[in-house]
């Protein structure tokens, strides 16, 4: 049998569901191929994804020191291209940007009204981690948990989601890695649902784009990341009400930073640890309502993070 192999240009950045999810062990290539007899086609995995090309060069890029950052990218979702590209495959710690993948796995495997119950793994006694102070037996719905996860970035709520979706934090991490691999994010490895520091918990800017690009397929995700504040009531083990309110960790949404003129920030996910630096992945729109995903990782500090993100968003004007 004669087999004709047709190579397609791999470009694209849309939000449609993928016809063929990536499988790193698959015998099929990423290219479209066609049998002359059966005329059966396999859609290329990356047909609707942005593919990085030559890296961008700019005089304001700093790799070390107080104004430094490790990587930055800007993706044109509708135009299916990488608008800005700096170190797309550098392996870095994602910190709480991890919670984007946590949300994806939860939304894919669990109903929004499912009641989640905290166990011992959800109780965090450390003073230096973002948390709401869950106790054993505390209860809330997945909908409530996702709001607290993505708006406030609570690490104990990340564990709450994990143990109720998968049975344990470790089993949930396995689900995270399986989902990341299916999206083509094969230069990543996740050990927990929160992004708390672990040497074996890492990703790349491009993998982070693949994960975030999947997340924005969910209307609930876009709704939540666009909220500047949130308040809710959940219950303790005895059924008594517990109140919680917060504002977004995204400084565009809480009013501490302003995007460039004619650019609208929809929302995103921050991440900050000593090892990861300051990180942000988010969705924005230009004056023509075109969507863009921006990513900045390992900025030396928050000011550098938002100043660099603004430099990216200025390209939309």
Catalytic residue selected from 96, 194, 248, 284: 96
Render 67-95 in DSSP notation, one character per residue.
T--SEEEEEETTTTEEEEEE-TT--B--G
Examine the residue annotation and report whether 99 is marked as an active-site residue of this protein.
yes
How much of the chain is in helix, strand and coil states, percent to nearest 5?
30, 20, 50
Contact indicator for 114, 164 with CB cutoff of 8 Å: yes
- Tell me which H or E stretch contains 299: strand 291-299
Q: For residue 292, give both structure tokens.
A: 């863009």
Angle between helices 98-109 and 205-215 (to 10 degrees): 30
What's the CA gap between 186 and 197, in Å, rounded?
Answer: 20
Indicate if 29 belongs to the active site: no
Q: Which of 56, 139, 153, 269 is catalytic?
A: 153
Task: Reply yes or no on whether 188 is catalytic.
Answer: no
Kindly provide the residue ranges of all beta strands, DSSP E only, lying in 20-161, ordered along the sequence: 33-35, 71-76, 81-86, 115-117, 139-141
Distance of CA 150 to the CA centre of its chain: 10
Q: Is 1 exposed, middle or buried (0-12, 13-18, 19+ CB in 10 A)?
A: exposed
Active site residues: 96, 99, 153
């Amino acid at each position: 049998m004669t087999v004709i192999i047709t190579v397609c240009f791999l470009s694209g950045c849309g939000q449609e569901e993928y016809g063929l999810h990536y499988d790193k062990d698959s015998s099929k290539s990423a290219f479209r191929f066609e049998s002359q007899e059966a005329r059966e086609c396999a859609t290329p995995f990356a047909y609707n994804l942005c593919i990085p090309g030559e890296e961008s060069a700019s005089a304001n890029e700093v790799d070390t020191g107080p104004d430094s950052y490790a990587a930055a990218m800007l993706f044109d979702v509708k135009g299916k291209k990488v608008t800005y590209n700096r170190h797309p495959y550098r392996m870095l710690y994602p910190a709480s940007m991890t919670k984007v993948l946590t949300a994806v796995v939860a939304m894919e495997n669990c109903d929004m009204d499912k009641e989640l119950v905290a166990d011992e793994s959800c109780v965090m006694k450390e003073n230096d981690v973002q948390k709401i102070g869950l106790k054993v037996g505390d209860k809330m719905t997945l909908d409530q948990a996702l709001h607290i996860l993505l708006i406030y970035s609570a690490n104990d709520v990340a564990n709450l989601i994990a143990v109720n979706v998968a049975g344990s934090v470790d089993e949930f991490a396995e689900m995270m890695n399986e989902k990341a691999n299916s999206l083509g994010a094969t230069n990543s490895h996740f050990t927990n649902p929160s992004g708390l520091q672990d040497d074996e918990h890492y990703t790349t800017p491009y993998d982070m784009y693949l994960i975030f690009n999947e997340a924005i397929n969910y209307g609930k995700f876009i709704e939540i990341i666009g909220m500047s504040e949130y308040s809710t009531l959940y219950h303790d083990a005895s059924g008594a009400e517990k109140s919680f309110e917060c504002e977004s960790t995204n400084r565009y949404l809480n009013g501490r930073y302003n995007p460039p003129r004619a650019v609208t920030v929809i929302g995103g996910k921050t991440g900050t640890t000593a090892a990861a630096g300051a990180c942000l992945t988010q969705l924005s729109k230009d004056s023509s309502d075109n969507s863009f995903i921006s990513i900045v990782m390992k900025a030396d500090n928050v000011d550098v993070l938002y100043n660099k993100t603004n430099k990216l968003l200025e390209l939309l004007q």
